Structures are given as C-alpha cells and as structure tokens.
Chain A
C-alpha cells in the first residue's frame, strides 16, 4: 500500500515536471523573461496603469483568440472572425436608432449565432473545408460592411456602448474583465468539461470520435457558434473603445488570433488546446508592442518580430513532438 502511494506520489511529481517542461511552457517562460527584461529597462512597465492598459489593448484580439482556440482544438478554424467583429459594430450602430440599445445588442448576438450555424453547417454537412468556407464568409462579411457603411465611418456610439470599452467594475475596465473572465471560463470548459473533451476528441480523431458515438457534426457546428459569439463580444468591446465603426474595423485581427492560439501550443491539427496559454500568448504579443513603444524601437518592427516568434515557437513544438 505504501509502495503504491509512493508510486502515485512519484507519478504526480513526474506529471508536474512534465507540465512545467520547456515543451509545455515555452511560451509562458518567454513571456516571463520578456516582462522581466522590460521591467528592468523601463520604470513605466510595471505601473498598474500600464499593465491594465496592455490587457485592455489586448482584449479584442484576446477574445477572438479564445474562440479560435476552441475551433483549432477540433481541427477547424475561421478566417472571418476579425471582419465579423467589425461587422458587429456596424450592425449595432445602425440598429440602435431603429430598435434601441438592448435589442440592438441582442440582435448582434443573434446574428453571431446564425453566422456560426451556417458556417459550421456548410463545413460539416456539405463537407467544404474550413479554409475555403471561411475565406468565402470573410469576403461576404467584408462586402456587407462596405455595402452597409457605403465606405464611410459610422459614428454615434451611445454612453451605454462606451461602457463596454471603458466602464469599470471595482476600478477594473470591462474589456479586461471580459477578456480574462472568458479566458478562465474557456480554459475550464475546454479542459475540464465533457463538452471540451468532445471538442478535443474530435480534433484528435474525427472518425474514431464518430464511431465512438459522438455527434461529431453538431459539436463542430457548436464550436463555430462559440467562436462567432466570441467575435461578436470582441466587436462590442472594439466599438466601445473606439466609439465608431469603420468598414475595415477588425479586419486582419483573425490572423493575430490564430497566431496567438498557435503560439500557446494549440495544434492546428486539433486534439490539443490550452485557452490559458492562448491568453498568455495574446499578452506576449501585446507586451512586445508595448515594450517597443517604451524602448522607442517603434511599432513598425512588431509584425516582423511576431512572425519570427511564431515560426520559432511552432518549430520548437514540432521538433520536440517528432523526437518523442
């Protein structure tokens, strides 16, 4: 009995060692090192205001990246979420004068569900792959943005809307609460609930999951709906932060979202996903930009560095997995 307990303790220890290994935690260590470097080289970095600011700036991409982590875990992805975030702003601004604030908000969420359902159904029921389908929806949503705005920037955010960008609860801004809150919720759902298990199982082996009795198509569709809702929440925060909606708002952020999820160790082939590490990766990318500003390097270098970090991280994951 004692031997068994010892073995168990050893098992737990080796599990802990594995969990903290470079392979699992590379992104977290890079993030910590970067923070230390910035803290040492700039007094401003560790000020609460600066930290809150970083998280707030990261929030829109962050919420999108959380949704994307769910999709990638099932071996799917969606290129339209950035445009959808911008679309949300336009829809809300156009609807508020007509039906009022709360109904406009609810409508935008309803549209999100609809977009997710349609995208997911095309991908699962008809079998078009997600790259092609979401390139199509991306184009459609961008087109709708231009049609609805006639190419102009829409203004007229109401005070209630601004609250989603800068309102505070216990002196923490709403975007920060939404981003970190969804991060915690997402991590819990993906790795600690049955639903999350289904998503990961389907990403791990779709055929085996189907034969094991999972409702594969329905679960994949639900992941698209979740991601679509995340995009809309991101869109609401974006609208609340910049008070206006432009025909190009949000477009392109999907790539940062995918970058962050992949940096966090979520496999684009599915089966593995970590929402909390996606959150860390989003913050890493934001801190990088913030650090460039503080150190006067200039934001122009950000994407350049981002690309190297992404390829470096994925090369490391891939190399280590192949060696196993």
Chain B
C-alpha cells in the first residue's frame, strides 16, 4: 500500500527461550483504523512496545511516511508522531486536565511561572480542531474512564501524533461511552489520523476498523479487509490449529452433590443476575475478558466483596461469608491471580509461605514447631516437584511456576473442600502449567470442588468439565461437558 503512513517489516523479538515476534509485518494507511487481534501471548503488546520504543527489536525495520524511522526509546516514537493511549491511563489523578496534558512540557513565563493562558489557548485550539471538548480545569479523579481516555487522546494529539495506538480501549467502557469513543475516532480519522486498535472484542472491530491483522504465537497469520470477512473467520484465524497442550482427561463426575451455589447475584451494575452451581469433584471454568466481572465473583465468594441481591448457598443452606478468614473456616480457599502482590510473602522463606493458612494445625499451641513446619514444606516440595535449594529459600528467588506451587501447597494444607484458582497459570512455563492442570484434576478426583478462572480460553476448554462465560457482568454462555470448546468460549466472550 503506497499511501501507508506506518510500515513495520519483519519485526522480530526474542526473549530468553521464547520467540515473541517472528518476522511480523504491519502497515497502516493514512486515515485508517487498523485492528490487531490475537489471543493472550500472541504478541500484540510486544509489537506495540516495539513501536512505542519501550522494547528494542532484534530484527526488522520501521518506516514512517516511507522513510526509515529510528525508534529506540519512547521519546523517539513520540517525536515521530506515534502516540500511545495506554489501557491503564497513566494520568495524575489530583491534577487537572490541562496540567496533565502539558505535564513535563510546561510553557513557562518569568521566574519559571507556568503560563496558564498559553496552555489554555493551545488547549482550546486543539479541542476545536478535532471537535472534542473537556473542561480544562476538571481534576482527573473526577472524570469517568471514558473522559480520562479522551485526555490521553488529547495528550497525544497535542504532540502531533499521526498514528494513535489504543490498547484495549473499550474493555472498561459501557455501551454509550464506547459509541462516543468510536464517534471521536471517526472524527479524527476524517482529519487524517490513523489508529491501531488492540482489542479482544471481535464484534467491535467490525464496527470501527477498516482492516484487521491477526497474530498468533508471535506470527502474523493474515491481514483482512473488514468488509470482506466475517467475525467467525477472524476467530478461526486467532485460534488456528496449534499443537494442543497436554490436558489431563476429564473425569469430573457428571451428576454429583452441589456444594456451592450462587443464585441471582447482583453487584451494583457490575454483576447482573449471576448464578452458578459448583459440584463436588468437578472443575468449573469461569472465563471472560478483562473487566468482564470474573474477579468480582471471586471476591464475592471469599467474602471480600458485598453483593446487593441474590443468595449464596453452601451445601444447600443459605450462608453469608464476610471475610476470607470466614471463607477458609468454611473450607473455601483462594489462589489469588496476583501471585506476587496478594499471594505470597516474597521475602519469607518457602516453609513459612506454605504454613501461613494452616499454622494453627502445624503448631496447635502458640509456640511454632519449626521442624514440623519445614518437614511439611519438604513433603510438598517433593509432592509438587517444587524446584528449590531448600525449604528455607526465600520465595522471591523462585521461578513463577514454583512460586505458584508454593501458593497451591498452602491451599492444600488447609484441607479446603472448595478451591478457587484465579489465573493459576499466569506467567508460568508450559511444563509447570501441565503439572498444575494434572494436580487440579487429581484434586477433583479426590472430591474437591474446583472453580477455575482463566482468561485463556484454550485452558478452560482443555481443563474444565463445564464452563461459564461472562461479558460485562452478565453470563453469555454456560457450556456443559459436551458443548465446551475454545471456539464457543471465544465467541461468547468476544461477540454479542
């Protein structure tokens, strides 16, 4: 395409042990909205980090307006007209819109005084030329997510961005805000700006994009004109026919005793009429994209989040769990998704991490039995094949997979009947994943009830006996053992 504003050719990025990007091409025309889709780990964010100068590429070249561009640091990308609107919107909440937009680039008058008048006139010109308006003196913390996004967009426009990269821009927006965003994008498109849309929502790209590039396992699968394809085709390309990971056989009892039931749960507007039943001896999968509400469900079950309406039943009896402490007392134990932030005591030795939830059992009287604590840790090191020099190793020094096994060991020590595993495979290697899946199945076979939350559809399809899909806080599919498949899960999570 000769009118390309941005061309990326043969981009390759290698991380130790992984080829994250393998000769990926991407070109974006002036005034185009170009969607980039792919499953987790497909390479979308790595590609954008190379474009933004956050990562250095190992091979390949980037052209802007047909000229080779030298992008080796974020400042280079900004200077050459590439603007990134990040998903987590890095703005200073306590400062105003105006202060945020000119942060670090303030125009100053005498004695270093910030020249507000000049900022304001520049801001107004900017708003006028693109038909956007936000009160300049509003503080960021008083704005909605959608408005904050606009601030980010204005920020990159002020730096004269020609290509604007938006990372999952709609994940946290409601329907109206989404339409407003699309409207803004179309206006800017008409003004000649180009967009790269990183997204999981397949239906949305058919609303807004001109073309879509599908990435899979670090390779570009294809680039399609939107009006010459269908959502199903895009999903099929995303999933592809990659070699299957080894999943254990599904042996979950088809009709066993319900242990935990959620009935018609509402939480503000975030969760709408959610119901599920978890049976003894099964693995129930719960999935959805970022912001779909899966984490609210987890927090609700362990008593970390209150609900407005509905009921929770434990062994058929209505129950109210108001803290993780109570949840564990009743046999419900969580493996948190943020392993480092809320799972582990990183600077504590392995044995102390394992015993944290069961220290009363290990040391029935107040005095801690250190020998026993380490012996129990050693048993788990052997049983779960945790690679560590000793039970006294600080967990900070273990690999992700081994850290996760430490949290699993802690759960298992509690003798909980209901295990909630929230993204247990995040950031761990394939071997450790397979071991964890096998362990999950063994635990289910022993009669544990397992709620398995993952945004990896393939894993849910491969491991869970049944699956529930959430989107925007509502169930869009409940698939039983005969229906569950990656295609159906992806479709329910990404398409309306």
Main secondary structure, interface of A, reads helix
Residues of chain A contacted by B410 (CB below 8 angstroms): 212
Residues of chain B contacted by A214 (CB below 8 angstroms): 325, 356
Residues of chain A contacted by B333 (CB below 8 angstroms): 213
Are A211 and B334 within 8 A (Cβ)?
A: yes
Residues of chain A contacted by B328 (CB below 8 angstroms): 212-213
Q: Which of A29-37, A38-46, A192-200, A294-302 contacts B (4 or more CB under 8 A)?
A: A192-200
A182-219 CB mask vs B (1 if < 8 Å, else 0) is 00000000001111010011001101111111110000
Query: In the complex, A194→B369 CA distance in Å?
Result: 10
Are A213 and B342 within 8 A (Cβ)?
A: no
Residues of chain A contacted by B356 (CB below 8 angstroms): 201, 208-209, 212, 214
Residues of chain B contacted by A215 (CB below 8 angstroms): 323, 325
Query: In the complex, A140→B237 CA distance in Å?
Result: 68
Are A205 and B368 within 8 A (Cβ)?
A: no
Query: In the complex, A15→B389 CA distance in Å?
Result: 13
Are B348 and A271 within 8 A (Cβ)?
A: yes
Instruction: Check: A272 CB closer than 8 A to any chain B CB.
Output: yes
Residues of chain A contacted by B343 (CB below 8 angstroms): 208, 211
Are A207 and B342 within 8 A (Cβ)?
A: yes
Q: Which residue of chain B is the closest to A15 with respect to CB atoms?
A: B392
- Looking at A200, A208, A210, A214, the one whose CB has the most chain B CB atoms below 10 A away is A208
Instruction: Check: B460 CB closer than 8 A to any chain A CB.
Output: no
Closest chain-B Cβ to A66's Cβ sits at a distance in Å of: 18
- Looking at B324, B336, B341, B360, the one whose CB has the most chain A CB atoms below 10 A away is B324
Instruction: Check: A11 CB closer than 8 A to any chain B CB.
Output: yes
- In B309-353, the 8 Å CB interface with A consists of 323-325, 327-329, 333-334, 336, 341-348, 352
Residues of chain A contacted by B357 (CB below 8 angstroms): 212-213
Residues of chain A contacted by B329 (CB below 8 angstroms): 213
Are B347 and A211 within 8 A (Cβ)?
A: no
Residues of chain A contacted by B304 (CB below 8 angstroms): 210-211
Q: Which of B324, B352, B363, B392 contacts A211 (CB 8 A)?
A: B324
Are A205 and B302 within 8 A (Cβ)?
A: no
Query: In the complex, A141→B343 CA distance in Å?
Result: 39
Query: In the complex, A201→B360 CA distance in Å?
Result: 14
Are B348 and A213 within 8 A (Cβ)?
A: no
Residues of chain A contacted by B366 (CB below 8 angstroms): 193-195
Query: In the complex, A272→B394 CA distance in Å?
Result: 13
Query: In the complex, A2→B360 CA distance in Å?
Result: 33
Query: In the complex, A201→B333 CA distance in Å?
Result: 18
- Looking at A192, A194, A207, A211, the one whose CB has the most chain B CB atoms below 10 A away is A211
Closest chain-A Cβ to B220's Cβ sits at a distance in Å of: 40
Q: What number of residue pairs across chains A and B have CB atoms under 8 A from each other?
A: 74
- In B400-430, the 8 Å CB interface with A consists of 410, 414
Q: Which residue of chain B is the closest to A272 with respect to CB atoms?
A: B347
Residues of chain B contacted by A209 (CB below 8 angstroms): 345, 356
Q: Which of B325, B345, B392, B414 contacts A271 (CB 8 A)?
A: B345
Are A271 and B344 within 8 A (Cβ)?
A: no
Are B368 and A194 within 8 A (Cβ)?
A: yes
Are A213 and B327 within 8 A (Cβ)?
A: yes
Given known pairs A15-B392, A193-B367, A197-B368, the reply for A208 and B342 (CB within 8 Å) is yes
Query: In the complex, A215→B328 CA distance in Å?
Result: 11
Closest chain-B Cβ to A45's Cβ sits at a distance in Å of: 38
Q: Which of A15, A194, A208, A210 contacts B345 (CB 8 A)?
A: A208
The contact size tier of chain B is 20 to 34
Closest chain-A Cβ to B313's Cβ sits at a distance in Å of: 21
Are A211 and B368 within 8 A (Cβ)?
A: no
Instruction: Check: B276 CB closer than 8 A to any chain A CB.
Output: no
Are B392 and A212 within 8 A (Cβ)?
A: no
Are A205 and B359 within 8 A (Cβ)?
A: no
Q: Which of B325, B359, B392 contacts A197 (CB 8 A)?
A: B359
Residues of chain B contacted by A200 (CB below 8 angstroms): 348
Given known pairs A11-B392, A194-B366, the reply for A210 and B324 (CB within 8 Å) is yes
Q: Which residue of chain A is the closest to B364 with respect to CB atoms?
A: A194
Are A211 and B348 within 8 A (Cβ)?
A: no
Are B334 and A192 within 8 A (Cβ)?
A: no
Closest chain-A Cβ to B363's Cβ sits at a distance in Å of: 6
Instruction: Check: B256 CB closer than 8 A to any chain A CB.
Output: no
B293-318 CB mask vs A (1 if < 8 Å, else 0) is 00000000010100000000000000
Residues of chain A contacted by B342 (CB below 8 angstroms): 205, 207-208, 211
Are A204 and B348 within 8 A (Cβ)?
A: yes
Q: Which of B327, B348, B390 contacts A11 (CB 8 A)?
A: B390
Closest chain-A Cβ to B385's Cβ sits at a distance in Å of: 18
Q: Which of A195, A205, A211, A212 contacts B346 (CB 8 A)?
A: A205
Q: Which residue of chain B is the closest to A18 with respect to CB atoms?
A: B392
Residues of chain A contacted by B346 (CB below 8 angstroms): 204-205
Q: Which residue of chain A is the closest to B302 with respect to CB atoms?
A: A211
Given known pairs A213-B327, A215-B325, the reply for A207 and B368 (CB within 8 Å) is no
Query: In the complex, A200→B353 CA distance in Å?
Result: 12
Closest chain-A Cβ to B278's Cβ sits at a distance in Å of: 19
Closest chain-A Cβ to B110's Cβ sits at a distance in Å of: 38
Q: Which residue of chain B is the closest to A205 with respect to CB atoms?
A: B345
Q: Which of B323, B325, B352, B367 contacts A192 (CB 8 A)?
A: B367
Q: Known A-B contacts: A194-B366, A204-B346, A213-B357. Give 12 more (CB < 8 A).
A: A205-B342, A207-B341, A208-B341, A208-B343, A209-B345, A211-B302, A211-B336, A212-B324, A212-B357, A213-B325, A213-B328, A213-B414
Give A residues with C-beta under 8 Å from B: 11, 15, 192-195, 197, 200-201, 204-205, 207-215, 271-272
Interface pairs (17), CB distance under 8 Å: A11-B390, A192-B368, A193-B368, A194-B368, A201-B348, A201-B356, A205-B341, A205-B345, A207-B341, A211-B334, A211-B343, A212-B328, A212-B356, A213-B324, A213-B325, A213-B329, A213-B414
Nearest first, the 6 closest Cβ-Cβ pairs linking A and B are A213-B328, A207-B342, A204-B345, A193-B366, A212-B357, A212-B356
Give B residues with C-beta under 8 Å from A: 302, 304, 323-325, 327-329, 333-334, 336, 341-348, 352, 356-357, 359-360, 363, 366-368, 390, 392, 410, 414
